Structure formats: C-alpha cells, structure tokens
C-alpha cells in the first residue's frame, strides 16, 4: 500500500476568467503536494492564491485541467470518498437538530437510525456537546456549530480530513480551544484505526505552524505553486497558545514568513487591482 494518503501530482487548474469570458486564467500551475497517512499538513498562501482550489481538487469536487490525484495509491475518480470536509462556512442543515445533523451522513451510508443516533451521540460527547443534541443550529454558538460540524465529519471516520479555514469566523479564544480539540482528536486517531491525514488550508501562519507536521507555502496567483516547505519539528502534544512562545516556533515563524511575506504583498496588490 502507498505511504501516501493523498498525492496531487503536477496539478494545473485553468479557469475561464469571470471578467472576460474569452480569457483563460491559470489558478494553479504544476503543483505537486503529497500527504502521508496520518500526517497533518497545512497549506498557507496569500488571499485568492488558489488554496481552496487545491482543496477542491483533493476532494474530487473539481477536476484538474492537467495532472493526477491519487488516494492511497488509487487514482481518484469522482468525489473522494476516503475524505471528510470542513469548510469555512457552516454546512449544518438549519432544520435539523445537532444530533440529526451528525446522524445524516451515517444514515446516508445505510446505518440504521438507532445505531446512527448512538454513534452521533458518542461523537457529540467527544466534542463536548453531550447535552446539546436536541438544539438547532441557530440555538448554538459559532464554536458549538463548529464542534457539531467536526462531529459530523469524524462520525464518518474518514482516512483524510480536508479543512478549509474552518475556524476563521471564530473569536480568538474559541478558535484556540477548537484548534487544541482538533489536535487532541487527531492525535487520538479514529478509535481502532490509525491517525487521519489532514490537509488544512489557512492564511494564518501561526495556526499553520502550531498545528502541523509540515507547512507548505504557495506563491501569489496567477499560476500558484508551492515555493517553500517546512517540517515543523515542535514537540507534541502541543497547546496552540503556549507553543507560540517556544523558541523553535519563533525561529520557524521567521523562516516561513521570509518566504511568505513577498507573496502576501503581491496577493494584496492583486486584490486591490481587481477591486479597482
Ligand atoms: N470556478 C471558478 N471560476 C473562475 N475563477 C475561479 C473559480 N474558482 C476560483 N477562481 C479563481 O481562482 C483563484 C484562486 O481562488 P481560491 O478560492 O482557490 O483562492 P484562495 O487562496 O482559497 O482564496 P482565499 O484566501 O480568499 O480563501 C482566484 O483568483 C479565484 O477568483
């Protein structure tokens, strides 16, 4: 079996320009990104550079214009069924209670209702929402909705978790609590099974370093590609707030920032140009 949970090889993604339909736009160019089974990898890059596009490729929601995607050694065809996703915005169904939201994926897989309810309840407990199963999304705080979404993903026991800035809408304290919880759940693995591979998209360098085994830096678009890769050799378990004071964290931060800084400035200038 392949050592890699996910391999994106020589990926190029070409879009038709939204402003000028005749024009083609290379969002991502010749990008190779491999994630080992059980590895936590963050991808950082300036705004609009193509991070979500890469995640959508990994999820099988978008076909690359060139290149190949391999999941545990098998070419990916259609949606990536070994992966669970957590996006920036809530994907909870407002008309379903928290437990019913966690149950839905299990039911869709054919798990009988009673078993699905028991598994969903166990996951709600693991994410700290034991007594909140009957609440509807609008009755939950932002952090609780994120916990529900996390339970929803983990209940399906995916081998790969794809996260696209999942905590960016949360206040700093809630965000750090959630980051620590994700790390704990990830470190504990999926019950009998091995640790999950995580592809985590963020524009927050501190978050990327605090959480990951490896940080990949993307260039500003167009034709985004990886321009730096850093092994994060900080000890685990980590507390995302405390680890920021670690001398090695500070050292890694300045090394990654040295690569990222110019790209952020380029990305920012491009956003201004687009808005003009
Ligand atoms: N379906 C599409 N059609 C045309 N252009 C697209 C499409 N999806 C994304 N793009 C363009 O591709 C580029 C990369 O977008 P993407 O959303 O992947 O960037 P990002 O790094 O995730 O952005 P952000 O940091 O703002 O979340 C952007 O210029 C975007 O406008």
Quick one: which H or E segment has residue 52? helix 51-59
Q: Atom 12 (ligand 1): residue with closest C-alpha? A: 27
Dihedral angle computed from the Cα positions of residues 158, 164, 165 and 170, in that order, rounded to the nearest 10 degrees: -60
Q: Atom 18 (ligand 1): residue with closest C-alpha? A: 50
Distance from the CA of 27 to the center of ligand 1, in angstroms? 7
pTM of the predicted structure, to 2 decimals? 0.93
CB environment 24-50: b (16+ within 10 A), e (fewer): eebbbbebebbbbbbbbbbbbbbebbb
pLDDT beyond 90 at 187: no
Q: Atom 6 (ligand 1): residue with closest C-alpha? A: 15
Which of 17, 49, 61, 164 for mutating ligand 1's site (highest number of atoms within 8 Å of CB)?
A: 49
Range scoring the smallest mean pLDDT among 73-77, 84-88, 112-116, 247-251: 84-88
Atom of ligand 1 nearest to the CA of 218: 21
What residues have CB less than 8 Å from 30, skipping those under 6 apart?
A: 10, 11, 12, 67, 225
CB atoms within 10 A of CB 238: 22
pLDDT beyond 90 at 55: yes
The reported pLDDT for the residue numbered 188 is: 83
Distance from the CA of 36 to the center of ligand 1, in angstroms? 26
Give the ipTM. 0.95
Domains of the chain and any CATH numbers? 4-80+214-275 (3.40.50)
pLDDT beyond 90 at 269: no
- Which of 95, 204, 214, 97 lies closest to 144, judged by CA? 97
- Give residue for tokens 């794809």: 162
The reported pLDDT for the residue numbered 193 is: 63
Confidence category of residue 192, pLDDT binned at 50, 70, 90: low
The verdict on the CB of residue 63 being under 6 Å from ligand 1 is no
Confidence category of residue 23, pLDDT binned at 50, 70, 90: confident
pLDDT beyond 80 at 153: yes
The reported pLDDT for the residue numbered 19 is: 73
CB atoms within 10 A of CB 157: 15
The reported pLDDT for the residue numbered 189 is: 74
Q: Atom 8 (ligand 1): residue with closest C-alpha? A: 53
Confidence category of residue 191, pLDDT binned at 50, 70, 90: low
User: Facing residues of 160 across strands?
Assistant: 83, 197
Distance from the CA of 155 to the center of ligand 1, in angstroms? 30
- Give the percent of the chain with pLDDT over 70: 98
CA geometry: angle 13, 17, 23, nearest 5 deg: 95
For residues 122-145, give the mean pLDDT: 92
Confidence category of residue 57, pLDDT binned at 50, 70, 90: very high
Ordered DSSP codes for 136-170: -GGGS-HHHHHHHHHHHHHHT--SEEEEESTTTTS
The verdict on the CB of residue 18 being under 6 Å from ligand 1 is yes
Instruction: Note the residue count of the chain.
Output: 276
12, 27 contact by CB (below 8 A): no
User: Facing residues of 229 across strands?
Assistant: 216
Q: What is the largest CA-CA distance in the chain?
A: 56
CB atoms within 10 A of CB 96: 14
Distance from the CA of 78 to the center of ligand 1, in angstroms? 21
The reported pLDDT for the residue numbered 213 is: 97
67, 34 contact by CB (below 8 A): no
d(CA 43, CA 218): 7
pLDDT beyond 80 at 48: yes
The reported pLDDT for the residue numbered 190 is: 53
As given in the structure block, the two tokens for residue 75 are 């070419």
Range scoring the smallest mean pLDDT among 108-122, 128-142, 176-190: 176-190
């Amino acid at each position: 079996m392949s050592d890699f949970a996910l391999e994106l090889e020589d990926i190029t993604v070409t879009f038709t320009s939204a402003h000028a339909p005749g024009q083609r736009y290379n969002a991502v160019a010749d990008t190779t990104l491999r994630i080992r089974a059980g590895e936590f990898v963050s991808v950082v890059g300036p705004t609009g550079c193509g991070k979500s596009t890469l995640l959508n490729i990994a999820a099988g929601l978008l076909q690359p214009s060139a290149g190949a995607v391999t999941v545990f050694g098998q070419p990916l065809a259609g949606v990536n069924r070994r992966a669970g996703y957590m996006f920036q915005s809530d994907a909870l169904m407002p008309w379903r209670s928290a437990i019913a939201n966690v149950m839905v994926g299990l039911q869709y897989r054919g798990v009988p209702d009673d078993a699905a309810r028991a598994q969903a309840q166990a996951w709600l407990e693991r994410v700290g929402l034991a007594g909140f199963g009957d609440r509807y999304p609008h009755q939950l705080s932002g952090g609780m909705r994120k916990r529900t979404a996390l339970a929803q993903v983990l209940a399906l026991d995916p081998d790969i978790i794809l996260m696209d800035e999942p905590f960016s809408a949360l206040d700093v304290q809630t965000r750090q609590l959630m980051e620590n919880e994700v790390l704990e759940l990830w470190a504990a693995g999926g019950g009998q099974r091995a640790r999950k591979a995580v592809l985590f998209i963020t524009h927050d360098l501190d978050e990327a370093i605090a959480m990951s085994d490896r940080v990949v830096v993307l260039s500003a678009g167009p034709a985004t590609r990886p321009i730096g890769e850093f092994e994060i050799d900080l000890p685990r378990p980590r507390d995302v707030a405390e680890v920021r004071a670690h001398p090695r964290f500070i050292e890694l931060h300045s090394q990654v920032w040295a690569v990222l800084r110019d790209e952020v400035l380029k990305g920012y200038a491009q956003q201004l140009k687009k808005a003009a």
